[in-house]
Amino acid sequence: MTDFKRKDGVHLHVIKETKFKTVRMMVRFREEITPGNLGKRVLLSNLLETTNAIYPTGKAFSRRLSELFGASFTTGVAKKGKQHLLSLNMTVVNPALVDFDTLKAGVDFLRAVLFAPDVKDGAFNPFIFKREQTNLIHYLEAMNDDRAYYASRQLAQEFFKDPKQALPSVGTVELIERETPQAVFDYYQEMLKTNVIDIFVLGDVDEARVHKLFSDFDFAQNVENSSFKEDKAATQVLEHTDLFYEQELTERSVLTEAKAATQSILQLGYHLPVQYGDANYMTLQVLNGLLGGFAHSKLFKNVREKESLAYSISSTFDSFTGFLKIAAGIDAVNFEAARELIAAQLEALQEGDFSPADLEQTKTMLRNTYLVGQDSISNTIELEYVKALLPERYLPTEVFLSQLTAVSAEEVARLAQKLTLQVEYFMKGTVGMNEREESLAQ
């Protein structure tokens, strides 16, 4: 892996890897979650994905990608702790497979997207803006059709006491509705100048060539701005408190709501006092694996397999926001039984009630998942990104694996005792299985 620290502060990471048939390029913009900017960023992710001054129609845009042998260009937004990420992803097939310089053409395409937006009189094309704004609003409204997503949102909103942290990475209808073509374009200029920018390229490439191909990307970054400290030559420093979200323990809240759905959803949010890279971070990985991370986990084996109380059940955590969640799809009539049995699984872990075999199995699965992740382009890039964000906390492979092996049963039980239930959310489905909706003839 070669890191190029450019004069303008933009960090170019090139990972040479010969096993894939494609080359992936990602340009990522980072800033602290700011409600006033959130709607703008999400709108940008849509606008940049549809048209620009060089490819002014969706058709021209798509045609160019087809011409580049089915190249794909997508954008996405996400949160990492207190930071908001806007990413542009370009994937091209290896030049050698199609006897065509798809790499250069891909970089040219990225240049067009970034530096030739469809703008007139200092604002985004109003027709395109309106269309994308409308589609985005519809999309956000439709997201709630996904009951599991809706339940997760309700839980997050109740759990995170800081309203900024409770906001979803895709923003809200209100935040998007109020934006204008002018305001979003003004922000875009700002974003290019002041966001922390990382570019990743992964594939069978020549590092020096890639560096050269990106050399004329002028982000007009102000090297005096707060995101680049000239004296830290090797890395851009991100303050710990600017990344990791923490909150105090609060009173437990219980929410129930009825929804016209066949399946009911139960979600539990726990306060998690562990951060990525902490001494007990690997213990957390093992704890989560034992609890509900794998098919041999307590939740899966006891709640689903043994008692048939849930079809889908799992536990997940976010070590950048201090949050652990258990989610289950259940039948409303089994609510009490499921809730109790789920609580009992965590209690069992707290009491050390799990076998050495289970512990070993969990470590094996974690190790295997980690190593198999090296077959994934996205996974590889995301790990490199964390390394760029937190160079001191990053766990290289040998460290990850040796710390994993060292995790003891006592440590797992002790950590389980530190989880505190903060929110219980129950979405009660009100549609019976035998009810068939009335069919309407149009």
Considering only residues 92 through 151, tell me which ones interact with another protein, judged by CB under 8 A: 92-94, 97-98, 131, 134-135, 138-139, 141-142, 144-147
Q: Is the dihedral of CA 272, 275, 280, 284 positive or negative?
A: positive
The nearer residue to another protein, 63 or 212, going by C-beta atoms, is 63
Number of residues lying near another protein (CB under 8 A)? 73
Apex CA 397: angle with CA 324 and CA 383, to 5°? 55
Please answer whether residues 202 and 377 qualify as being in contact, where contact means their C-beta atoms are separated by less than 8 angstroms: yes
Among positions 41, 80, 304, 325, the unique one binding another protein when judged by CB under 8 A: 304
For the CB of residue 26, give the shortest distance to another protein in the complex, in Å: 16
Integer Cα distance of 186 and 245 in angstroms: 29
For the CB of residue 255, give the shortest distance to another protein in the complex, in Å: 19
Among positions 6, 16, 296, 428, the unique one binding another protein when judged by CB under 8 A: 296
The nearer residue to another protein, 233 or 441, going by C-beta atoms, is 441
Binding map of another protein across residues 149-178, x = CB under 8 A, - = no contact: ------------------------------
| CB crowding 7-24: b at 16 or more within 10 Å, else e | ebbbbbbbbeeeebebbb
Chain centroid to CA 8: 27
Binding map of another protein across residues 262-291, x = CB under 8 A, - = no contact: xx----------------------------
User: Where are the extended beta strands (E) located within 275-419?
Assistant: 310-318, 323-330
Binding map of another protein across residues 1-40, x = CB under 8 A, - = no contact: -----------------xxxxx------------------
Integer Cα distance of 311 and 300 in angstroms: 9
For the CB of residue 307, give the shortest distance to another protein in the complex, in Å: 8
The footprint of another protein on residues 47-76 (CB under 8 A) is 57-59, 62-63, 65-72
> Which of these segments, 185-193, 219-227, 369-377, 387-395, binds another protein (CB under 8 A)?
369-377
> Which of these segments, 188-196, 246-254, 302-310, 397-405, binds another protein (CB under 8 A)?
302-310
Among positions 116, 237, 258, 371, the unique one binding another protein when judged by CB under 8 A: 371
What distances in angstroms separate CA 388 from CA 11, 84, 234, 299, 416, one per listed residue? Answer: 9, 15, 10, 35, 30
> Which of these segments, 106-114, 178-186, 243-251, 368-376, binds another protein (CB under 8 A)?
368-376
The nearer residue to another protein, 84 or 304, going by C-beta atoms, is 304
Q: Which residue has the tokens 């949102």?
A: 153
> Which of these segments, 111-119, 221-229, 399-407, 426-434, binds another protein (CB under 8 A)?
426-434
Instruction: State which amino acid sits at residue 440.
Output: L
> Which of these segments, 33-41, 183-191, 401-409, 429-437, binds another protein (CB under 8 A)?
429-437
Please answer whether residues 75 and 140 qualify as being in contact, where contact means their C-beta atoms are separated by less than 8 angstroms: no
Please answer whether residues 200 and 90 qualify as being in contact, where contact means their C-beta atoms are separated by less than 8 angstroms: no
| Sequence-distant (≥ 6) Cβ neighbours of residue 62 within 8 angstroms | none
Q: Is 223 in the site for another protein (CB under 8 A)?
A: no
Instruction: State which amino acid sits at residue 363.
Output: K
Q: Is 440 in the site for another protein (CB under 8 A)?
A: yes
DSSP secondary structure, 200-259, as one string: EEEES--HHHHHHHTTT------TTSTT--TT--S-----HHHH---------EEEEEEE
Among positions 233, 234, 249, 260, the unique one binding another protein when judged by CB under 8 A: 260
> Which of these segments, 31-39, 204-212, 300-308, 393-401, binds another protein (CB under 8 A)?
300-308
* Measured torsion, CA atoms of residues 208, 212, 217, 223, in degrees rounded to the nearest 10: 60
Among positions 25, 310, 341, 407, the unique one binding another protein when judged by CB under 8 A: 310
For the CB of residue 77, give the shortest distance to another protein in the complex, in Å: 15
Integer Cα distance of 81 and 394 in angstroms: 15
Q: What is the DSSP letter of 303?
A: I
The token pair that represents 230 in the structure block: 């000239």
The nearer residue to another protein, 202 or 238, going by C-beta atoms, is 202
Among positions 167, 329, 385, 412, the unique one binding another protein when judged by CB under 8 A: 329
The token pair that represents 108 in the structure block: 């040219």
Instruction: State which amino acid sits at residue 164.
Output: K
Please answer whether residues 304 and 318 qualify as being in contact, where contact means their C-beta atoms are separated by less than 8 angstroms: no
The nearer residue to another protein, 10 or 151, going by C-beta atoms, is 151
The nearer residue to another protein, 10 or 412, going by C-beta atoms, is 412
For the CB of residue 342, give the shortest distance to another protein in the complex, in Å: 15
The footprint of another protein on residues 375-414 (CB under 8 A) is 375, 377
The nearer residue to another protein, 4 or 335, going by C-beta atoms, is 335
Q: Pick the closest to residue 10 from 262, 216, 175 (CA basis).
A: 216
